[in-house]
């Protein structure tokens, strides 16, 4: 298990950062990306693999510092195995809607491999490679 952070522009993942079970390292590159894309970023989401569905004190001070430094308000989200909590402008909301990336951040955070489809047989490969005239 590890914390994972997505910086999002709409439904697109702009950057992914990996941390330990309890934190994501403070990287200058992440702050540069946030600054450079501050007018495009729509959401900054990270996981709490310990299933703590709340913003920590460190989360809150980081959110305040980033917004003060950029002059922008972002949607901030916490993802746990079973929960999805967001905050914007200090108003928190438990989210029921699941964007496409929600399962992805959970898999990365909890080291869960997606279920694999069985490999096609040689006959199936041959059928899919045949062209119709």
Kind plus residue range of the DSSP H or E element containing 24: none
Architecture (CATH level 2) of domain 4-114: 3-Layer(aba) Sandwich (3.40)
5 and 113 Cβ atoms separated by less than 8 Å: no
Residue-wise pLDDT tens digits, 13-40: 999 999 988 888 889 999 999 999 999 9
Which DSSP string corresponds to 26-39?
--HHHHHHHHHTTT
CA dihedral 15, 96, 23, 114 (to 10 degrees): -70
Say how far apart CA 16 and CA 22 lie, in whole Å: 16
Measured distance CA(104)–CA(94) in Å, rounded: 19
Q: Report the DSSP beta bridge partners of residue 86.
A: 77, 93
Q: pLDDT tens, 64-115? A: 999 999 999 999 999 999 999 999 998 999 999 899 999 999 999 998 655 5
What is the gyration radius of the CA atoms in the chain, in angstroms? 19
pLDDT at 21: 87
């Amino acid at each position: 298990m590890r914390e994972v952070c997505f910086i999002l522009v709409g439904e697109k993942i702009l950057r992914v950062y990996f941390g330990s079970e309890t934190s994501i390292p403070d990287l200058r590159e992440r702050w540069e990306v946030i600054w450079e894309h501050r007018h495009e970023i729509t959401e900054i989401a990270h996981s709490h693999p310990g299933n703590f569905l709340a913003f920590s004190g460190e989360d809150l001070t980081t959110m305040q510092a980033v917004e003060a430094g950029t002059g922008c308000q972002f949607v901030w989200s916490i993802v746990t195995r079973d929960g999805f909590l967001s905050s914007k402008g200090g108003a928190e909301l438990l989210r029921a809607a699941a964007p496409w990336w929600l399962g992805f951040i959970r898999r990365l955070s909890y080291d869960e491999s997606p279920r694999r489809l069985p490999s096609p047989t040689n006959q199936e490969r041959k059928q899919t490679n045949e062209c119709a005239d």
